[in-house]
Amino acid sequence: ELVILAARPSHGKTALALNIARHIGVEEQLPLFFVSLEQSRVELAERLLCCQARVDSHKLRKGMLSSDDMQKLIEAGGILRNAKLFIDDTPAQGMLRIAANARRLKLRQSIRLVIVDYLQLIEPDNRRDSRQEQVANISRRLKFLAKELTIPVLALAQVNRSSEDRMDHKPRLADLRESGSIEQDADTVMLLHRPEMYEPGQHEGIMEVNVAKQRNGPTGEITLTYLKQFMRCENFAVEPPFGYDG
């Protein structure tokens, strides 16, 4: 099936996708293919390391690591090294290359998931087509790829600016409609929203995932805890009042 994870820029699409990749590759020990059209392999590796080790990514970038941080990163590196996570960070690639590599990895490594970050950065086959036609063709080919390989394809996507004008700023399915047939082709659409992006100091660490479309299941909203310093998404847990012992 084709799964779309969509949001406005900087709302945590890549972070959530990497958390999914880490869960599949490390915890489930299943092979997967990650196509990164925006960030380099080194950047993704750093984010995965911090996520796995629970080490502040800012400290890693600034070289302000303690001995405890170093030990955590070494241990995390050993764990991630054993994961069958295949990354292609070639910029400006088209569906021809993505599909060819996915087929090869399905044949040789039996990959169980393809992640593409993100859909609108895939090079179109025909530059003379309108932008809507280009994106429609890309989403359709991602759908065909998922069907051909009989594995899920998770494609990240950006929604248009319409949500910025709403009181709650939450993206809706309608915000995808200008991007060709993404909504129509997708079996599942998840819309990501972080309230703190619009209300700094409030709703800190809250990530809302709206399952707005699911062809074979229920829709609804899921709340996650987003630990930005670790690039880590976890099940949402409300802190009990101070002094509460159950």
Which sequence positions are flagged as catalytic?
38
Element (H or E) spanning 71, and its range? helix 67-81
Residue with tokens 């630990």: 227
Q: Would you call 49 exposed, middle or buried from its count of C-beta atoms within 10 A (0-12, 13-18, 19+)?
A: buried
Which residues of 85-180 form beta strands (DSSP E)?
A: 85-88, 114-117, 153-158
Q: Is the omega angle on the peptide bond into residue 226 within 30 degrees of 0, that is, cis? A: no
In angstroms, the CA 128 to CA 138 distance is 14
Burial 83-116 (b: 16+ CB within 10 A, else e): bbbbbbbeeebebeebbebbeebbeeeebbbbbb
Distances in whole angstroms, Cα of residue 44 to Cα of each of 18, 47, 48, 88: 8, 5, 6, 11
Residues paired with 206 in a beta bridge: 225
In angstroms, the CA 113 to CA 154 distance is 8
